[in-house]
């Protein structure tokens, strides 16, 4: 089973994908995480994409396509992927279709989370991520431990693109480039719209219902 989860930045894709990945033994593939990792390691690719990531615009489709082909071609991940934050535009969705065909796989479910801009701003500007284990907290909804520590040696940090200005830019990018994907996938019967403003557990339960339906 391969799943796509998409929605606006700060829409809860990452936390819900973590939950789905562990519940259904899938691998979460977040293009945002892959890109941030390149930036952290200061690779050539990292240096090339840093400006785009920090200003909230999309990285080129070719770069993303290469990253995704490495994953999709790896037998370890075959039919066990939840794509978080990918595809981000119609061209990427078409690339993904060709790659999956090439490696004899398919998409089984596309989940779209709907969240308003006001809530997104709070989710993004309040988000704190543990530098060690990746655990996520929020200053408004899911308070971090006192003195901003998490696991051993972990400190809670803000992502460099988690500020109001970049959040608005990322939302604009989502509206212009990613939202048209809704129409693209609605033609294929795979799309499931879920209200992303409910409590975490309620959203997770709705997602699980959709997955259980396709699993039969």
Residues that bind ligand AMP (CB under 6 A): 9, 31-32, 35, 52-53, 56-59, 64, 85-86, 88, 92, 170
Q: Which among 28, 88, 192, 206 is annotated as catalytic?
A: 88
Instruction: Please say which residue, 12 or 32, places its beta carbon nearer to ligand AMP.
Output: 32
Instruction: Please say which residue, 138 or 149, places its beta carbon nearer to ligand AMP.
Output: 138
Q: Annotated catalytic, 127?
A: yes
Q: Annotated catalytic, 158?
A: no
- How would you classify residue 153: left for phi > 0, otherwise alpha for psi between -120 and 50, otherwise beta? left
Q: Annotated catalytic, 94?
A: no
Q: Annotated catalytic, 13?
A: yes
Q: Which among 13, 36, 123, 206 is annotated as catalytic?
A: 13
Q: Annotated catalytic, 123?
A: no
Q: Which among 28, 36, 123, 170 is annotated as catalytic?
A: 170
Instruction: Please say which residue, 31 or 105, places its beta carbon nearer to ligand AMP.
Output: 31
């Amino acid at each position: 089973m391969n799943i796509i989860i998409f929605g606006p930045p700060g829409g809860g894709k990452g936390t819900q994908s973590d939950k789905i990945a562990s519940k259904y033994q899938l691998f979460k593939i977040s293009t945002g995480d892959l890109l941030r990792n390149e930036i952290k390691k200061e690779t050539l690719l990292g240096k090339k994409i840093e400006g785009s990531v920090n200003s909230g615009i999309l990285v080129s489709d070719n770069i993303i396509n290469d990253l995704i082909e490495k994953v999709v071609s790896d037998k370890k991940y075959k039919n066990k992927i939840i794509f978080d934050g990918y595809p981000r535009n119609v061209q990427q969705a078409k690339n993904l279709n060709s790659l999956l065909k090439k490696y004899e796989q398919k998409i089984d479910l596309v989940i779209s989370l709907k969240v308003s801009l006001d809530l997104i701003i709070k989710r993004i500007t309040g988000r704190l991520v543990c530098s060690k284990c990746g655990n996520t907290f929020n200053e408004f909804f899911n308070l971090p431990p006192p003195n901003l520590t998490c696991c051993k040696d972990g400190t809670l940090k803000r992502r460099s693109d988690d500020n109001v200005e970049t959040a608005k830019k990322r939302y604009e990018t989502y509206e212009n480039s990613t939202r048209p994907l809704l129409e693209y996938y609605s033609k294929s019967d795979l799309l499931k719209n879920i209200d992303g403003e409910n409590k975490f557990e309620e959203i997770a339960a709705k997602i699980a219902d959709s997955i259980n339906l396709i699993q039969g």
